[in-house]
Structure 1
């Protein structure tokens, strides 16, 4: 079962502005001499080869961040990055608004604790269905009271 990431409007704006900054200037904008750059960066092809792929990866992350529950594993995808967690290793889920990086496009996240000391923050669009699916496959998962209220 696939669960896309919830996308906050401000995160969407930031990602698209950064992607545009990396992709458009090296291709279309002339050099106005405003910034001091090393001579080797004045070569247009170097700007395209370095900056354009960064912009493409940002768009890839924005469009392909999601979470799939297949068999006995949770597969987390964020653009080119992939992480797989076995259901049996998950022991706790809690709600968080942690602003630090995670394979999530929203501040409204859930933290999944697995293994001995590992955790990952994700932001499924439909938290209720996501948590229900996880608990259906692993009844031993503990949830905090804030999460139990959305179930």
Structure 2
């Protein structure tokens, strides 16, 4: 079962602003920042080749962040980054508002403790359905408040 990441408005603005800036500035404003770059780096194709991938990475993260619960595996996609967690190794789940970077597009997250002392925080759109789906595969998961 696939769960989209919840998206906060501030994260929407941030990712889209970076994507638009990194993709459009070197293309439509070739003289932008000329005073800051040495001669070789002043060439437009170098700016496009260096900055556009960052913009496309922001879009990739925006469109490809989600979580899939299969029979024994929780698959986390965060743009080009992927992580697999064995559901049987999940020890506990708790809600968190942790601002640190995680594969999530929202501050409204759940923290998953698994495989000893490993922790990851994600932000599925419907946390209750997501937790029930994990519990269906591994009923011994502790839900902490």
TM-score, length of structure 1 as denominator length: 0.92
CA deviations on 1:110-143 (whole Å, 9 max, x unpaired) are 0000011101110000001000000111011001
Answering whether residue 143 of structure 2 is matched by residue 130 of structure 1, we say no
* 1:1-151 → structure 2 map (5 Å cutoff): 1-32=1-32, 35-145=35-145
Residue 30 of structure 1, CA deviation: 3.4
On the 8 A contact 2:26/2:32 being kept in 1, the answer is no
4+ residue stretches of structure 1 with deviation over 3 A?
32-35
On the 8 A contact 2:5/2:67 being kept in 1, the answer is yes
Secondary structure in structure 1 of the residue aligned to 2:119: strand
Q: Which runs of 5+ in 1 are unaligned?
A: 146-151
Count of aligned pairs: 145
Distance in 2, matches of 1:105 and 1:114, equals: 21
Distance in 1, matches of 2:113 and 2:39, equals: 49
Secondary structure in structure 1 of the residue aligned to 2:36: coil
On the 8 A contact 2:25/2:32 being kept in 1, the answer is no
Distance in 2, matches of 1:104 and 1:132, equals: 19
Residue 37 of structure 1, CA deviation: 1.5
Q: Which runs of 5+ in 2 are unaligned?
A: none
Distance in 2, matches of 1:138 and 1:44, equals: 54
Residue 40 of structure 1, CA deviation: 2.1
TM-score, length of structure 2 as denominator length: 0.96
Secondary structure in structure 1 of the residue aligned to 2:135: helix
RMSD: 1.2
* Distance 1:33-1:9 versus aligned 2 partners, 3 A rule: closer
Distance in 1, matches of 2:139 and 2:20, equals: 45
